[in-house]
Amino acid sequence: MDAIKNLYTYTRKYKYELIAGIIALILTDALGLLPPWLIKLAIDYIKKADSQSHSISPLIKYSVLIVSAVGLQAVFRYYWRKHLFGISRKVEYDLRNDYFRHLQRLHWGFFQHTKTGDIMSRATNDLQAVREFLGIGSVIIVDTAVIMTTCLILMIFISPKLTGISLLPMALVSIIVLKFSREIRQRFESVQKQLSEISSMVHENIAGIRVIQAYVQEENELNRFKKLNEQLINKNLELTKISGAFFPLMVFTTGLATALVLWIGGREVIRGQLTLGSYVAFNGYLAMLTWPMAAIGFMINLSQRGIASMRRIEEIMNVKPEITEKPPAISLQQSAIKGEIEIKSLTFSYKGKENVLSDINLSIKARGSLSLAGAVGSGKSTLVKLIMRIYDAPDDSIFINGVDIKRIPIKILRDGIGYVEQEPFLFSDTIRENIVFGVNDVTDNDVEKTVIMAGLERDMEIFPHGINTVIGERGVTLSGGQKQRVALARAIIKRPTILILDDAFSNLDAYTEGRVFTNIIESLKDTTFILISHRISTMREADMIAVMENGRIAETGTHDELISKSGLYNRIYKKQVFSEMEIVEE
């Protein structure tokens, strides 16, 4: 029922179109009831004409009325299809937008634990099932109500006896519906889940095609796909078996009713207890009942599919975003964020697990710079992601300009921060579009300066279309260093108040790294820098260096201060110096 209620909230905004469509559908059905009655009158008139002379003008009148009724029926049929089917498309549009908008608000952790193919399957296959339920389903509901009610009234008016006899087989319908509806829903859910599995596998294979080919796993992946596809076929066949038996049984009940009417009603016509015209009209209305009876089965099938799909969509829609603004949100403009960062007694763990960070205390002045050093897994990346609220830190533990970051609107906070990670994501678009992503009103001159700042100017010369070269999905045509520099340019061009570089130079040689980093520092003088790196040559330029170990701050100070101590930083420094000396000697 919750799925139906949620769908109602979407259809409510189109209530006037829905009313117009229902009225047009009712008029269509009402006009469809006229021809059998007009044929009854015409046949009875012709029957009387056997014994006495009659004018043909009534027959002309009946013919004109039948043609008029059918013509008007066509007009109203156009309007109900336009409105009712149109509403289903509009609801699908709204629901898909809300689904995508909700995905944009969800935290990173959700996407780390949910398969992309499953998310995509719900946005396509399940939404289609919901649309079909709304569009065809609404038509069936009105059709069934109007046609069954009016046809039964007219049939009772013609012959209560025949009506009662023809309805006896219809008692089977309730038994059939109860027997099959739950099975259809369960089997359809199983099919949709299998589609999600296939979508996930295809997505992973396309994204990781280079790894698959490098390890010669094409045949194994094909066999795995065949197995999943075979399971999908089997589940679809199971669904088809039950739905395939469902519809014939529904039609059989109406066929049985027609046979009884032919046998008993025909005898009454022969005996003169029922006119031929009434018998023909009764059969016409009984034939019209065939659609609603069969449609009940179709409606059960559609509704079970639609409800199952809506539930799958709601599973995602009901996931609560973990990153929310702490009321009252302070309305700061980006320019008001000066970049002063203070971290007080920060302790953090992922969903109650062992602490990743413990008792972190740091202070970074506006327009200052901090380097984070330490081994892999020491908590450096987690710390900077907490500053951006990719993950949520405890209350009153991270402050910008003296304000708890939870009280700063997320959009303003993240607009003021530039972030470049070690493995950046690039879109399947041109280099230029990847650079200006998220920035409005940017000029070609701004882009050109940014390209130079990121050390990309020489690379532009070798690309076939320069900065307008399409780089393929995830930047597949670029080297690791080129990807990182494009991502750097994307962060730099927004002129952020805070720039976080999370091992963003790992694919660059020491010379290029030094040149690019110097360009950035000289160009963004009003920016606060947080740098994660494994190269001492880059880290030493920061105002302060914090060395992390096992989620804690092991030591802090400038490069010279830390070198003078026999701590972790000193050991890292000596190790790098000795490595460089060995390389030079070789």
Q: Enter the pTM of the model.
A: 0.72
What is the rounded CA–CA span in Å between residue 322 and residue 326?
Answer: 12
Per-residue pLDDT of the chain (586 residues; tens, 9 = 90+): 566 777 778 888 888 888 888 888 888 888 888 888 888 777 777 766 655 556 667 778 878 888 888 889 889 888 888 888 888 888 888 888 888 888 888 887 788 788 777 888 888 888 888 888 887 777 777 777 777 788 888 888 888 888 888 777 766 666 666 666 667 777 877 887 888 788 778 877 877 776 777 767 788 888 888 888 888 888 888 888 777 776 677 677 777 777 877 788 888 878 878 788 887 888 787 777 766 766 666 677 677 778 888 888 888 888 888 887 776 555 555 445 678 899 999 999 887 678 889 999 999 998 899 999 888 888 898 999 999 888 888 888 999 988 888 888 888 888 888 899 888 888 888 888 888 887 888 888 888 888 888 888 888 888 888 888 888 777 777 888 888 888 898 989 988 899 999 888 888 887 888 888 888 888 888 899 999 988 888 888 888 999 998 899 999 998 888 888 888 888 888 777 665 554 444 4
Chain-centre distance for alpha carbon 549: 40
CB atoms within 10 A of CB 335: 8
Both 135 and 256 in a single domain?
yes
Q: Is 373 helix (H, G, I), strand (E, B) or coil?
A: strand
> Contact at 8 Å (CB) between 257 and 167?
yes
Which CATH number does the domain housing residue 456 bear?
A: 3.40.50.300
Could you tell me which residues are beta bridge partners of residue 500? 419, 530
What is the rounded CA–CA span in Å between residue 291 and residue 206?
Answer: 46
Domain-ending residue, one of 286, 317, 348? 317
Our count of domains for the chain comes to: 2
What is the rounded CA–CA span in Å between residue 433 and residue 424?
Answer: 15
Give the strand pairing for 341-349 and 398-400. antiparallel
Burial class (CB in 10 A: 0-12, 13-18, 19+), 33: buried
DSSP H/E element including 556: strand 552-557
Asked, for residue 331, whether it belongs to a domain, the answer is no
Both 301 and 432 in a single domain?
no
Both 42 and 154 in a single domain?
yes
Domain-ending residue, one of 317, 339, 359? 317
Both 313 and 423 in a single domain?
no
Residue 361: which residues within 8 A CB-CB, separation 6 or more?
343, 344, 345, 346, 553
Asked, for residue 338, whether it belongs to a domain, the answer is no
Question: Angle, to 10 degrees, between the axis of helix 160-167 and the axis of helix 127-158?
Answer: 140
Q: Please name the residue that has the structure tokens 């829609």.
A: 317
Edge-to-edge strands, sheet with 552-557 = 417-420, 498-502, 528-532, 369-374, 544-549, 552-557
CB atoms within 10 A of CB 560: 8
DSSP H/E element including 360: strand 355-364
Domain-ending residue, one of 266, 293, 317? 317
Give the strand pairing for 552-557 and 544-549. antiparallel
Give me the half-sphere count of Cα atoms (radius 13 Å) on the Cβ side of residue 349. Answer: 6
Edge-to-edge strands, sheet with 341-349 = 355-364, 341-349, 398-400, 403-404
Asked, for residue 453, whether it belongs to a domain, the answer is yes
Both 301 and 426 in a single domain?
no
Both 310 and 431 in a single domain?
no
Amino acid at 468: N
Could you tell me which residues are beta bridge partners of residue 384? none
Asked, for residue 546, whether it belongs to a domain, the answer is no
Which CATH number does the domain housing residue 22 bear?
A: 1.20.1560.10
DSSP H/E element including 443: none
Q: What are phi and psi of 430, to 5 degrees?
A: -75, 165
Both 312 and 428 in a single domain?
no
Both 27 and 154 in a single domain?
yes
Sign of CA dihedral 307, 309, 310, 316: positive
> Contact at 8 Å (CB) between 375 and 93?
no
First-to-last alpha carbon distance for the chain, in angstroms, is 74
Alpha-carbon distance values, 348 to 84, 218, 219, 378, 398 (Å):
52, 42, 44, 13, 12
Asked, for residue 301, whether it belongs to a domain, the answer is yes
Both 426 and 312 in a single domain?
no
Alpha-carbon distance values, 370 to 348, 367, 496 (Å):
20, 10, 16
Both 312 and 426 in a single domain?
no
Asked, for residue 299, whether it belongs to a domain, the answer is yes
Q: Please name the residue that has the structure tokens 């649309």.
A: 131
Residue 409: which residues within 8 A CB-CB, separation 6 or more?
325, 329, 330, 331, 332
What is the rounded CA–CA span in Å between residue 355 and residue 345?
Answer: 13
Asked, for residue 215, whether it belongs to a domain, the answer is no
Query: Which segments of 386-446 are extended strands (E)?
Result: 398-400, 403-404, 417-420
What is the rounded CA–CA span in Å between residue 338 and residue 126?
Answer: 46
Q: Please name the residue that has the structure tokens 């710079």.
A: 369
Both 44 and 179 in a single domain?
yes
Both 25 and 137 in a single domain?
yes
Asked, for residue 224, whether it belongs to a domain, the answer is no
> Contact at 8 Å (CB) between 520 and 499?
yes
Q: Which domain holds residue 431?
A: 419-495
CB atoms within 10 A of CB 226: 10
pLDDT, tens digit, for every residue of 144-179? 777 778 888 888 888 888 888 877 776 666 666 666
Burial class (CB in 10 A: 0-12, 13-18, 19+), 2: exposed
> In terms of Cα–Cα distance, which of 527, 325, 342, 520 is closest to 416?
527
> In terms of Cα–Cα distance, which of 496, 556, 568 is closest to 528?
496
> Contact at 8 Å (CB) between 497 and 339?
yes
